[in-house]
Structures are given as structure tokens and as C-alpha cells.
Structure 1
């Protein structure tokens, strides 16, 4: 056995020395350019003369036509000439790769295992495909023998779920002792009672501990700890997990060939793909030799995105001279009071937001602030007459507070001089007219309360409370709501505070604009985002945006996802171009309408000759070109 292993090892090293490797080529198919040159294997005979011991090689011979001499003829092995680069297509966001792996018989041996790993390069990233294994019958037997030994070792380990008393104690004697000295014990049934003691004062636990085989527990734990050690001892070459193919060969009569196919999800980097095969030979002793990587196969991936229309798209926009902006602030007041206290609750933060908003508008060169309307609202709590006065006074207090800040110059970004807002940054008057600050009030915000009640899920008597809204008098209306005490308590605690608010409405106009409206165009950034998704091969995301435009790029998104009917319908309404007609040829070919597809293709060629060369990249058109010799005119 040792001599066999030594001979096997030497053979492996010779393979490494001679740079023998795995061959890979593109798959044969109707779109491939593989040329096969076949011939019979050589039939030379060798002869050894018995007397002299000299070796002679007997070859086939043929007479030379010119000299008349007999010349030896040697027939070559089969030769396969393949292109290393191939054009393939991406369809429905998927690229289907196919290639033939050929393993020379020189690296096949019944005592070896060959693992082949295909690796695809996409830009800077790599994808490891599932490997394939070619295992010699003797190697497989040795590997299986090792696994049988390891499985035998595992069977000697007592599993964790095994019954403790049955496996780790002297059970017959334990049962006998308990029956004689502690018959009331139920520990063997899983019920422990350590308070039980025999007439000699021995507890239940002490009895069990006496009959436990500690040495057996220790041995079993040792076996569990040494599982990996024994696995490596018995199984020198583990089975390869996740294999695409694990083929066991009994007799080696020639090369081994395997057709490998793999789907790859398209990405923005997948226009060019490179594939290499990496092989490793292992023998029964665990010796491993890496083979020289195979030649590189390159795939040029064609897709519909090369036809994308990158023309910028604009949309109409109406610019209005006058506009308004609204912000809401929750400024709180003490009960029954209307003076502003910045230190109360979150008032300081809310007032700062208002001042910052005014500052941003004033320092905007395109806008002029005409007026500021302050609207204060109250909740229905209390009498309507009191709330009416209180809300008006609170609105007036906020107006006065802002005017004092602006006119005294307490804000760093702007101030008011003679009613005009002035920027402190450049000392330039930003407003052509005086700033009007107007205060308004809403005594009780019943409409907003109704909206909040309708959407709230915590109100039990919702329909009855909504019915109270039909009562004309506000005070009677609230009293009617109080009948439903639990709901009214909830409304008062959680909904009323949201009604005590102050709205600030800014009325502005465009600086220097005279007309009330101007119609202009601006870049459609939403459409541009859809086109960007299309370029990145994010077809579904692109279609979500482009579907409402129904233009040429929408058709490309549909074609890329296999929505041929939708694509054809949209293309029929697009402008007549060579690219449009070419795409119609592809769609017709997909419907197996060859005559229609040929007409479209010839028409596209006539409009733009480059379509003839593009046809070789798309399988639907390439097939027709080869079948009907449609590009014959290019070579005349």
C-alpha cells in the first residue's frame, strides 16, 4: 500500500511540474462559433526485435506525389478550436452562462479526487459557483471507509437525551437499595425529594450519588471533546459540501466533459464577465496539489440598456407671484391668562422656530414678506364667550411679542425700521413695503375637534358624541358631550391640548416679478431618476417611475423584464427610428414571427447600417442572421 501511495504522489507532482490543467470552452449552441476538427486516434504500432532488443515504430505511410517516396503519416488527435470571447445576452435581468469543462485523462486517477471551482469576475467582485468533484473509485472507497470508522466512534458516545439512571448508574442495585431502604422515593420517575432519608439518615441524593458511575460520565465527556480529533484521524479528505456534481469514475477511458450552466443576476457592472476554473487534486493520503488556472473565458453581455434615450426631459412649471407658507406652533398659556411666558413648557423653542422662519424668509433674495397673520385658537373647555375674548387676547399678545423683538433689534439676523424689515448681514432693506402683522382668533376649534374624534380609536361612544356636534350653541354642545363621562375625560385630556394652537401664515411674493403667473420649464428629476435605475439594471424600480410616461425608455424597461406585449404597444406610438424598428424586430422574433422580424431587421439596417452589426449581439436576431444569411450584403 505504501508503494502505491508513493507512486501516486510522484504522478501528482509530475502533473504539477508539467502544468497540466483543466480546459474550458464556451458551450456549443446555435449562437456559438465553436469549430470542431475531428480525426481518428493514432494507430502507430511498436515492435521489439527479439534478437537485438531494438524497438521499431511502425507508422502508416503514403506515397509523395512529386518524389514518389513513401512518407510516414500520423493522424492527429481531435482538435477543438474555440473563441475565448463570446457575446451573450441579458434577458429579464438574468444572464445565463454556459460552458464546457473538459478534464484531460492525464489528471484522472482512481486513487484521486479532483475538485473544480468556477469563479466569475464581475468588475472588482468575484462570485464562486458551486464546485464539481470527480472522484476515483479507490479514493471513494478509502474515504467511505474513514467515514464508517468515524460513525462507529460516534455510536460509542452516549447521547445527551439518554436516560441518566439507565446509562450512568448501577441501576439494578440502585433499584434494589431504594426498594429496601427508601420505598417512598420516586426519584427514578423524575421526582426529587432530598428531604427523604433512610432509617440510617442517608438522603435520597446520597444514595443516588453512591451508585453513579463517575468514570463512565468522564469517559463519555472525553469522547465528545475528542470528536474532531478522531474525525481528522479517520477522515483524511472530508466530503465536499455544496457540490454541483460529485461523479465517481470507475474506468478511465478518456477525457471527462461536463456542461455547466449558471444564472447570474445582472448588475451595472455585468457588461463584461470573466470566468476561470481552479482545480485541486487530492490523493488518499491527504496530499493536495493546485492545478494551474484554466484559460479565461470572457463574456460580452448585451442588453437593452444600450438603447436608452438619454435626452433630458423637461416638465412644465407654473410660477406664481404670490404665495403663502404656514407653520403651526403650540404656544402654551397659564389657565385664563394671555401674556406670553417664554419659560413656560416648550414656549421658548416654539418662539425660536417662528423667529428663525422669519429670518430665513427675510434673507432670501427671491422672496419678499408682505404680511404675517397670527391665528390663535382655543379648545371648547369653558364658556364660549370667555374663550372668544381669551383667544383674541392671546393672538394679540403674540403679535405684540414679535413686534417688540423685531423693533428693538433683539434678533441678530433682522430688525424693523419704520415698519420695514432690514437684514443685519448686509444692511440692506429686504422689503419694499411695510410688514403687516395681523392677529386673528378662533374662539373654539370645533371643526378640528370633530376630525380628531373621527380618527381616534379609543372613544367608545363615538357616534353619539359626533351627534352632539349638531347642537347649535357651543356651550350646550360641550355639556351634551359631558354626559359620556369616560369619553369626555379622554377628549379633555388628550384631544383638547391639540386644539390650543397658534398658526402663523406668511404671505409673500416673488421679488421683481410683475405678472401674477409665469409658465416655464424645469428638468424632470423624477424621470431622470427612472433612467438612472434603468442604466443600473434596476428594471423594476425604473418601471415604477417610467410607467406613467409611456415613452421609449418605458418600452426598454418592459422589454428588459419580458413584458413584450406592453413594450410593443408603447413602441408603436414612438417616433420612427432605426433603434425602434430594431427593437420591434426583437419582439417579433420572440413571438416566433420570423417573417415579420426579418422585415423589421432589414428596415432597421436600411435606416442605420450599424444595426446589422448589433444583430450579432442579440440572440433573437443573431439566430435569424445565421439561419437566413441576412448580413450577406455586408461582405459583397
Structure 2
């Protein structure tokens, strides 16, 4: 009742509840969490004791209390010590870091008639991202909120309003709504101040090398007065990841340059039945003929290669007699050569040699073999292999398997009426038949760049086939620890590979093996000892 009377007196006297907060410039402070406090928040509480080390001796001093029966009982209470620091290093694991800190504020900010709302902001490369709000309400403020919601609920139950009327009623009854998306995890009250332990998982990206945290907040009172908190100190977090093990050495690959090259291009030209004329208006001939013309003109005009010859081969489908199909294939090949000569130039006459295949049975067999929908696929393949006469072969398929034959004639035979052009090229100015040269492996270096930008999934697509240290770093960053350890077993032993094996074993629960790998790494490079002290997964191995 005394608290309520103080609040009412402030309202009656015209003095705002938050006025004295603004005059005294009360603020909330943000602090890094000490290692002891972080372990206390994440693990079960252990009774503290004071440890003293002197040379090789170790002593534990614990105060005692004498009970009425004369028995001495150890009893010790250590006051919380908050370490203030401007910067801290966070370990990145699985593409995420856990940001934690302590928000410390004077008890005067809370009060019975006030609500404190604090918003932490995460800053990365000039962009501020709001984290979840924290709200701490005074007792009277909380009871007023509860009363308002009770009145609103009573109104809804009595009148069952529609959605618009319900929204208006909510605005009329509830003056201070409960904030949404806030958190209230662990508030500790101390003499003169309140502390709040805040922890949140944050995904990392290429901008996450350094993160900053600041606070913004305000105090709202029952008399509608408010007070905006002054800016807080800035906490700096440096993200430590597996990226320190990335090998940035430029990788080269051996490129084989051949003097001779072959380009083969298969096209499908439609002809009228029993006709050899090239009609560019028939079916999709316009696109196919344009493609052939562009490819041939481009190869003839380019400077790197000299075109030795072009072999144009036309084929027909098996329906009809073999003799007739051979004549059709021959006529269509010559007709296409004349068509290209008219549009590209007279050089086509000397470059292009004409060939023809009456019936392309190997292509037909390959397409039958790959089509599982054919009920008699095996029988037809056996017949094609056994029967030497092409006319009898085609007739037997038609007679024995009529349904399959109809499907072949409609869906497969059109792909057998093809024109294939093979270009035989020779590299100009090159004397040797083959030259081996080194050039930068651009695909690998692109993967390394993606890895350094923490775009792990895309980096793995480029690096997986190389199975080297950078592949291991990518796999560990994505949590594929068993696969990473398998690759590490095939790499040359070094301090780095032994350390990475220790990390993988720690994650897989193989502590004894992981500890051995870590000690081996420290023996090969003493700097690994310092890094291990900052790595929680290595610390887990040494417990």
C-alpha cells in the first residue's frame, strides 16, 4: 500500500513518475559475461571454493561455521564479480555463434509503477539488427496490466463482439498491452542494481568477422510519462572460426593443349516421305538449319583453329527397304551440303565430305536399351543382335511386337533421321602434338573465396572433390564431422591436421583420441596450445 500511495502522490502533485530518472540520467549498462558466470548459466551449480596455487602445491580454502553441537560445516558465499571488457572472442560452430552478455541497471529504474523495455542491437558492417526485447515490470504496473486484460476479457465474454469491435474494445480497456516477442530469462537482484543474463544464437555470414552490441531502452510509467535511456557502452565480439586454418595458397592445374581437336554436332532435319529436298519451312527445320549454319560459319571464321575437314553424315530410319533408305540418306546428305554451300560460300564444297548410313541400328538399339517402358525390350535387343538382314530384322519386330513397334515408329524413329557433322580442327601455329601447361584452378579458388565469406554450402560444392584441408574446414563448418575426419586420415600429418582431428573427435564424442591428437598438435607447434585455450571444443577434451 505504501508503494501505491507514493505513485498516487506523484500523480496528484503533477510530478511525473519518470521525471527523477531523467534528471539523474539513470542508464542501463551492457557487460561481457565472465567465464565463471557463463559456465554457471549453462551448467548445474557447483559450490564455490577458493583455490590457491603456490609452486607445485594446490590448496582449497573453505570457511566454516560452528554449529550448536560443535560440528564445523563448510559454508562460503562468493559475491558475483562482473568483468568489464570492451572486446571478446566468440567461437563459431556450425555457421553460428552464441552472443551473451549481462545487462546491468540500477534498481531505481524498475519501481512499482514502471515498466523497463530494453532492446539489444547487433551491429555488423554498419547495419543494426534488433534482438529480442527484454521487459522488467514493477509490481503495480503488472497488476494494472492484469486488471486491464481481465476487464477486456469480461467484455468479450459478455458481448461477443466482431473483430473490428473487439479491436476497439482492446484499445479502450488495455492501456499497456503485454509486449510481444520479449524474453525474461534470468533476472538477478543485487543491492542497488538488477542484472540480466542475455544469450542468443546468431547465424554468421561473410560480414560476421566483427560484431558490436549496444542497448536502447525506455521506461514507461502508469502516468503516461516515459524516459529514454541514454546510449550504452558498445561491446565488441571478434568471431573465431575454423577459417584461420584455410589454406589460401594459389592452386594450379595442368592443362593439356592438343594440336588436333574434333567437334561433333548432331542435328535432326525433317524430310517429306520418300523425299530428299531440304525444306526450311517443315517442322522445326528453321531452327535446326540455322544452328548448323551458325556453327559451321563460326568455326570457319575463328582464328585459333584451322578447319581441316568437315564430315557430313546423314541417316534414315529402318521402315521401308534397306536399299531405298540408303538412297534417301545419300540424297539428303548431298542436298544439305548444297544448302550450306549456297548460304556460307564456295569453301563448303572443298571442306565438306559427304557420308551416309542407310539405317542407324546402333542408335536404335541404344534408345531401346534405355527405355524401360518397352515390355519386350530384352527380346527386341536379342533379335537385333542375332538377325543380320536389316529388312527381315525390321519386319520381325513389326510382326512379333506390334504394340512396341508402333511406339518405336512414332517416338523413336524420328530421332534416327539425323544429320551429324564432325569438324576436324588443327590449332594454328602449334608444332608439337601436345603441350602441358600450368594455369590457375579457378573453380578451386572460387571455392576458397566462398569459404572465407562463410558461404559454406556453396564452397563445399566447389571443394568436395579435392579432399584437402580446405575441404575439411568446410565440412567441419557445416557439421559433417565424420566425413571430415575420414579425409583428415588421408592427409599428411601436421600440427594443423592433428588439431582439426582433435576438433572432429571432440564433436564425435571420442575424447581420448581427440586429446591425443591435440597433444600431438601442440608438440609439433606450440601455438596450438594457445589456440586450444580459446576453443571450447578443445577445452572439453582436457576436462
Task: Give a deviation string over 1:534-559, Cα, whole Å, max 9, x none.
Answer: 21223344345434333332343344
Q: Distance between the aligned counterparts of 1:379 and 1:599, measured in 2?
A: 70
How many angstroms apart in 1 are the aligned matches of 2:414 and 2:485? 58
Q: 1:241 — aligned with what?
A: 180
Would the alpha carbon gap of residues 307 and 252 (structure 1) be closer, same or farther in structure 2, given more than 3 Å must change? closer
Give the 5 Å matches for 1:494-533: 494-533=411-450
Q: Which residue of 1 aligns with 2:233?
A: 295
Partner of 2:18: 12
Displacement after TM superposition at 1:567 (Å): 5.6
Residues 108 and 252 in structure 1, CA contact (< 8 A), matched pair in contact too: no
Residue 322 of structure 1: how far off its partner (Å): 1.4
SS of equivalent residue, structure 1 residue 328: strand
Alignment match, 2:408:
491
Q: Is 1:283 aligned to 2:236, yes or no? A: no
TM-score, normalised on structure 2?
0.79
| Residue pair 1:30, 1:623 contacting (<8 A) in 2 also | no
Matched, 1:398 2:315: no
Mapped contact 1:8–1:111 kept (Cα < 8 A) = no
Aligned to 2:364: 449
What is the TM-score of this pair, normalised by structure 1? 0.68
Q: Does 1:604 align with 2:520?
A: no
Q: Give the equivalent residue in structure 1 for 2:257.
A: 319
Shift of residue 394, structure 1, vs aligned partner: 0.8
Question: Is the CA contact 1:391–1:442 (under 8 Å) kept in the aligned structure 2?
Answer: yes
What CA distance in whole angstroms lies between the structure 2 residues aligned with 1:462 and 1:586?
A: 54
1:226 aligned counterpart, secondary structure: helix
C-alpha distance in structure 2 between counterparts of 1:480 and 1:569, whole Å = 56
Aligned ranges for residues 52-451 of structure 1 at < 5 Å?
82-158=84-160, 223-245=162-184, 254-407=192-345, 435-451=350-366
Alpha-carbon distance between aligned partners in 2 of 1:599 and 1:462, rounded to the nearest angstrom: 61
Question: How far apart in 2 are the matches of 1:461 and 1:595?
Answer: 62
Shift, 1:373, TM fit = 0.8
Q: What pairs up with 1:476-625 in 2 under 5 angstroms?
A: 476-483=392-399, 484-561=401-478, 591=511, 597=518, 600-601=521-522, 603-605=524-526, 618=535
CA contact (8 A) 2:118 2:216 kept: yes
d(CA) in 2 for partners of 1:244, 1:323: 68
Distance 1:252 1:534, change over 3 A: closer
Q: Which runs of 5+ in 2 are unaligned?
A: 1-6, 39-78
Structure 1 position 369, deviation (Å): 0.6
Q: Please list the CA deviations of residues 63-90 of structure 1 after superposition, one character each: whole Å capped at 9, or x if unmatched.
A: xxxxxxxxxxxxxx99956111112222
Query: How far apart are 1:521 and its partner, in Å?
Result: 2.2
Find the aligned partners of 1:456 and 1:582 in 2 and give their Cα distance.
52
TM-aligned CA deviation for residue 288 of structure 1? 3.7
Contact 2:187-2:195 within 8 A present in 1 as well? no
> Which residues of structure 1 form unaligned runs of 5+?
33-76, 159-219, 409-414, 420-434, 628-636
Taking a change above 3 Å as real, the CA distance of residues 306 and 395 of structure 1, as seen in their structure-2 partners, is same
SS in structure 2 of the partner of residue 388 of structure 1: helix
Give the 3-state SS of the residue equivalent to 1:156 in structure 2: helix
Contact 1:332 1:347 in 2 (8 A): yes
Q: Summarize the Cα distance change of 1:448–1:339 in structure 2 as closer, same or farther, 3 Å threshold.
A: same
Counterparts of 2:328 and 2:179, CA distance in 1: 83
2:103–2:197 contact (8 Å) kept in structure 1: yes
Match of 2:47 in 1: none
- Structure 2 CA distance for aligned equivalents of residues 248 and 301 of structure 1: 27
Q: 2: distance between equivalents of 1:342 and 1:525?
A: 43
Distance 1:320 1:94 in 2: 48
Once the two structures are superposed, residues 284-309 of structure 1 have per-residue CA deviations (whole angstroms, 9 ceiling, x without a partner) of: 34444322232111111122213322
Query: Helix, strand or coil for the counterpart of 2:276?
Result: coil
Distance 2:413 2:277 in 1: 20
**Are the counterparts in 1 of residues 115 and 221 from structure 2 also a CA contact under 8 Å?**
yes
Distance apart, 1:336 and its partner CA:
0.9
**Distance in 1 of aligned mates of 2:431 and 2:531:** 55
Higher alpha-carbon Rg? 1
Alignment root-mean-square deviation, CA: 3.6
How big is each residue's C-alpha offset from its partner over 1:325-345, in whole Å with a ceiling of 9 and x where there is no partner? 111222222211112223333
Report deviation, 1:365.
1.8
Q: Which residue of 1 aligns with 2:56?
A: none
Match for residue 471 of structure 1?
387
- Contact 1:270–1:301 (8 Å) recurs in 2: yes
Aligned residues of 2:498 and 2:520 also touching (Cα < 8 A): no
Aligned equivalents of 2:234, 2:263: Cα separation in 1: 63
How far off its partner does 1:398 sit? 1.3
